[in-house]
Amino acid sequence: MQPQSQITSTAVPAIPSTYSIEQLCYIFDTTTDWVRSHSRPVTPACTISTKGIEVDGQIGKSMARRRYQRGQLSSVEGNWIARWREDIIASNGEVRRVRRKETIGTVKQYPTKRLAQRELDRRLKEVNAEDYKPRPQATFAEFVERWKENVMKQHKPSSQSSEKSDLNRVLVPRFGSMSLKDITAEAVQVFVTSLKGSPKTARNLICTMRLVWKTAKDWGYISHDPFHGLRFPQPSKVETYNFTVEESLAIIAAAPEQWKSFLWLLAETGMRPGELAGLMVDGVDWQEATIRIDQSVWQGKLQTPKTVKAIRKFAISSKLVERLRAYQRDHWMRNELGLMFASQEGNPLSMDNFRNRVLNPILKKLKIDKKLKAMGIARCGNYAFRHMNATVMDEIGTPLKTRQHRLGHAQIETTMTHYTHKVDAEDRKAAETIGTMLSQIVELVN
């Protein structure tokens, strides 16, 4: 049997004789001012710095997980105000515990404190979870800069241009100073409702914001979805114009000889103007009478097509093959990029320049511009051929699946989205039918 002296000397973990103000705040669930007013200053024998201690994979102050929180509720001027504590990761990597304050609803929404507490419990679910970990903090503007540097740079130049414009022009000025955690569904809805302009503009802005938000969620900055239940204004009908077959024929016939093949391709295939600007000479299969689209041009630079589905191969008419052979023989200029159509310097075509210098003068000559003005349409460009093509395919009964494939912009079967596609009978029929229509006036160059 051990002597009494040995029993008493056996080390039993000692209860700390002193606590920090911060620890006392957690224990009594109160403020630092209250603790200071009810405490006596104690000078410890020694202090141990916790700076640099890793907490949940982060470097910062060591602190135990909070006990289960119910928060504090108070009614102020008809609103329920909630307060609770959260751990955050500061910009310097230090873990800090902060007090949160948020309006969770009005007294009209939650007539009793118990109902308001239910809503607060729902919001504290993440904080009270066993696997809860501190989240890094950033304002929307701060995170956007990180997103631009690490994510946006991976996007195509055309996408970067629109994303940068949306962020710098509208989104950052509106949400920049707000913490990501404080951007709620209500804040986003108020933003959408306040926007002036077309509903499409609102959808484009929210699409860009969603891209940023997804990254913030993946990186652990936030967990909530402020876009759930978002309501957009009803889209208004926008006047657009598509050339008729007769107008397309007249435009091709009135075009300078070196541009007839270019316009015929736009009209018969319905391809995007940028895709035609990026068409390679070896993208035309003369024997099979097909065209392969695997690149496009944006602001004078070659890039991949708009989507993976836009990479495709489709049929062209035998008459268009003859036209292209004549163009290659008499007008094609060899260029280092191997493009079917290029500028005099051998660079990719600017479709804006083509519209202004070639198409618009033809429309003026044919007085189509006056027709557009009378209809209240500001301008009509290269895409009017694409709309004409889609309309004609619908009128001649081309199956929807074939139309989707030739235009390259709608959902189609997985087997139709690979880099090469089988040219089926309906594809061939559509090409030959439209090619015959277009060849009624345009004379082939022999």
SS (H, E, C) the chain: CCCHHHHHHCCCCCCCCCCCHHHHHHHHCCCHHHHHHCCCCCCCCCCCCCCCEEECCEEECCCCCCCCCCCEEEEECCEEEEEEEEEEECCCCCEEEEEEEEEEEECCCCCCHHHHHHHHHHHCHHHHCCCCCCEECCEHHHHHHHHHHHCHHHCCHHHHHHHHHHHHHHHHHHHCCCEHHHCCHHHHHHHHHHCCCCHHHHHHHHHHHHHHHHHHHHCCCCCCCCCCCCCCCCCCCCCCCCCCHHHHHHHHHHCCHHHHHHHHHHHHHCCCHHHHHCCEHHHEECCCCEEEECCEEECCEEECCCCHHHCEEEECCHHHHHHHHHHHHHCCCCCCCCECCCCCCCCCCCHHHHHHHHHHHHHHHCCHHHHHHHCCCCCCCCHHHHHHHHHHHHHCCCCHHHHHHHHCCCCCCHHHCCCCCCCCHHHHHHHHHHHHHHCCCCCCCC
What residue ranges of the chain have pLDDT lower than 50?
Answer: 1-15, 17, 42-65, 412-422, 442-446
For residue 91, the model assigns a pLDDT of: 63
For residue 255, the model assigns a pLDDT of: 93
For residue 239, the model assigns a pLDDT of: 66
For residue 224, the model assigns a pLDDT of: 87
* Beta strands 135-136; 79-89: pairing state: parallel
CATH architecture of the domain with range 245-438: Orthogonal Bundle (1.10)
For residue 424, the model assigns a pLDDT of: 60
Range(s) within the chain of domains with CATH label 1.10.443.10: 245-438
For residue 316, the model assigns a pLDDT of: 92
